[in-house]
Amino acid sequence: MSYEVYKLIHILSIIVFFGCLGAAIIGGHYKQHEKIITGVSSLLILVGGMGLMARIGIKHGAIWPTWLIVKGVVWLTLSALAPILAKRLGRSVFVFYVFVTLAALAAYMAISKPF
C-alpha cells in the first residue's frame, strides 16, 4: 500500500481513537462498545504507523529515531492505560486534557521530528 493510504489509516484511526476515548472520559461512560472501538482503532494506529515507517525508509530491525520512540511510548501508554483510567475514574476532565496533551506530543514528533 502507498504512503498516502497508510497515512489515511493512521490519521483516521487517531481521530476515531481520541474521539471515542475523549467522549468516554468526559461522559464517564466506558462500556463494551467503547472498548471495542478504542481497541480496534489503537491497533490500526499502529498498523498505519508501521506502514508509514516502511514508506519513509525506516528498515525492519533498524534503530528507531528518537521522535519515533517518543510516539511509540505515547501510543503504548495511551493504549494500555487509557482504558483502565476510563473505566476506573469515570468522568475526568483533567485526564481528558492529559490525553489531548499526549496526542499533541505524538503529532508534534511526526510533524517536526525535533530529534
Q: Name which of residues 76 to 95 contact ligand HEM (CB under 6 A).
A: 78
Q: Name which of residues 23 to 82 contact ligand HEM (CB under 6 A).
A: 45-46, 49-50, 52-53, 56, 68, 71-72, 74-75, 78
Residues in the chain: 115
Q: Which stretch binds ligand HEM (CB under 6 A): 23-31, 32-40, 84-92, 107-115?
A: 107-115
b/e per residue, 43-64, with b = 16+ CB within 10 A?
Answer: ebbbebbebbbeeeeeeeeeee
Cell digits of residue 82: 487509557
Q: Does 96 bind ligand HEM (CB under 6 A)?
A: no
